[in-house]
């Protein structure tokens, strides 16, 4: 029987329980037979894969490759993924560079099948990084099957920490958040932005994200999330607002305000 993560409840209480038990639950999940079979197969075979066509032609390998970047829904889109991989990311007109979702660029970068590149499948350490990421993403997906807000919160803990420490400009960091669907959803929810927000001009979105972050979290920068307190405040707001939305307005305005205060 496969291990199913335990979520004690929705919202902040469930999140605090998941944080306390994360290490033990993640370790138990990583020891499940199916995950072990998938990752062992990938480790055994990936060193002999030198083209995008070969990767997409092996469904088991492709499943791990896509799962590592949160793209499992594209498992049947073989020709699309092959194009993503074969184009690489070196040219501005490469397909991955023209997509709003930055995860495709990360996928293409990870394997190095683009023009003039040396396949990174030759590097065992790089492939082990993909396996580790696959395990992490798989655990998050399993959590998300019970509560998707928890999956997004887990994703944000590692992605935001890495992004906040990146030397790129603050504007570039915000554009990266906008290009990663789980992070975009978290910020839009935590900052109280409407569903149609993503339809306005991208530069205007940047201004609004910065203004809202400044007034809600404390600063307009992404770099502020190197501070665990700032990251926790964002996460709490996201979980609180998500919980309120799931209740479909059944709470009074006073109860809603109480949940938000508890998330600060």
Q: Does residue 12 belong to any structural domain of this protein?
A: no
Looking at the structure, do residues 136 and 53 belong to the same domain, yes or no?
yes
Q: Does residue 159 belong to any structural domain of this protein?
A: yes
- Two tokens at 100? 């709003």
Could you tell me the pLDDT band of residue 254, with boundaries at 50, 70 and 90? very low
- Two tokens at 36? 């072990």
Looking at the structure, do residues 98 and 136 belong to the same domain, yes or no?
yes
Could you tell me the pLDDT band of residue 249, with boundaries at 50, 70 and 90? low
Looking at the structure, do residues 156 and 206 belong to the same domain, yes or no?
yes
Looking at the structure, do residues 102 and 168 belong to the same domain, yes or no?
no
Looking at the structure, do residues 75 and 165 belong to the same domain, yes or no?
no
**What are the strands, taking DSSP E only, across the chain?**
none
Q: Does residue 113 belong to any structural domain of this protein?
A: yes
Looking at the structure, do residues 184 and 156 belong to the same domain, yes or no?
yes
Statement: residue 246 has pLDDT above 80:
no
Q: Does residue 72 belong to any structural domain of this protein?
A: yes
Could you tell me the pLDDT band of residue 148, with boundaries at 50, 70 and 90? very high
Looking at the structure, do residues 155 and 256 belong to the same domain, yes or no?
yes
Q: Does residue 8 belong to any structural domain of this protein?
A: no
Domain region containing 72: 32-140
Mean pLDDT, all residues of the chain: 91
Count of structural domains within the chain: 2
pLDDT of residue 169: 95
Q: Does residue 202 belong to any structural domain of this protein?
A: yes
The separation between CA 216 and the C-alpha centre of its own chain, rounded to angstroms, equals 22
How confident is the model over 33-71, as pLDDT tens digits? 999 999 999 999 999 999 999 999 999 999 999 999 999
Looking at the structure, do residues 164 and 127 belong to the same domain, yes or no?
no
Of 260, 233, 231, give the one whose Cα is nearest residue 244: 260
Looking at the structure, do residues 124 and 170 belong to the same domain, yes or no?
no
Q: Which among 93, 109, 140 is the end of a domain?
A: 140
**For the residues 142-151, what does the mean pLDDT come to?**
94
Q: Does residue 237 belong to any structural domain of this protein?
A: yes
What does residue 97 show for φ and ψ, rounded to 5 degrees?
-75, -15
pLDDT above 90: percentage of residues in the chain: 83
Q: Which among 90, 115, 140 is the end of a domain?
A: 140
Statement: residue 255 has pLDDT above 60:
no
**For the residues 80-100, what does the mean pLDDT come to?**
96
pLDDT of residue 261: 46
**For the residues 73-80, what does the mean pLDDT come to?**
97
pLDDT above 70: percentage of residues in the chain: 93
Which CATH number do you get for residue 135? 1.10.3700.10
Looking at the structure, do residues 160 and 234 belong to the same domain, yes or no?
yes
Looking at the structure, do residues 38 and 130 belong to the same domain, yes or no?
yes
Find out whether 215 and 233 touch, Cβ atoms under 8 Å: no
Radius of gyration of the chain (CA): 20
Looking at the structure, do residues 127 and 38 belong to the same domain, yes or no?
yes
Residue 10, CB-side half-sphere exposure with 13 Å CA sphere: 13
Q: Does residue 6 belong to any structural domain of this protein?
A: no
Among all chains, which residue has been given the structure tokens 């399993």? 142
Q: pTM for the whole thing?
A: 0.86
Q: Which among 107, 140, 173 is the end of a domain?
A: 140
């Amino acid at each position: 029987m496969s291990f199913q993560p335990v979520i004690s409840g929705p919202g902040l209480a469930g999140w605090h329980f998941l944080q306390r038990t994360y290490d033990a639950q993640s370790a138990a999940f990583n020891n499940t037979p199916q995950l072990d079979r998938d990752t062992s197969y990938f480790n055994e075979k990936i060193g002999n894969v030198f083209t995008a066509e070969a990767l997409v032609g092996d469904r088991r390998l492709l499943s791990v490759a896509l799962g590592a970047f949160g793209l499992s829904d594209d498992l049947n889109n073989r020709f699309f993924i092959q194009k993503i991989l074969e184009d690489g990311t070196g040219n501005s007109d490469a397909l991955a560079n023209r997509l709003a979702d930055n995860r495709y660029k990360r996928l293409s970068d990870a394997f190095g099948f683009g023009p003039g590149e040396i396949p990174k499948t030759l590097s065992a350490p790089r492939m082990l990084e993909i396996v580790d990421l696959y395990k992490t993403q798989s655990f998050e997906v399993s959590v998300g099957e019970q509560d998707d807000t928890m999956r997004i919160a887990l994703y944000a803990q590692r992605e935001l920490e890495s992004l906040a420490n990146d030397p790129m400009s603050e504007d570039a960091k915000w554009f990266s958040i906008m290009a990663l669907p789980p992070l975009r959803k978290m910020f839009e929810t935590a900052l109280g932005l409407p569903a149609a927000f993503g339809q306005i001009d991208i530069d205007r979105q940047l201004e609004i994200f910065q203004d809202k972050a400044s007034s809600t979290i404390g600063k307009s920068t992404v770099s502020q999330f190197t501070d665990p307190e700032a990251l926790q405040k964002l996460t709490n707001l996201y979980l609180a607002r998500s919980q309120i939305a799931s209740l479909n307005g059944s709470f009074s305005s006073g109860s809603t305000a109480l949940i938000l205060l508890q998330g600060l």
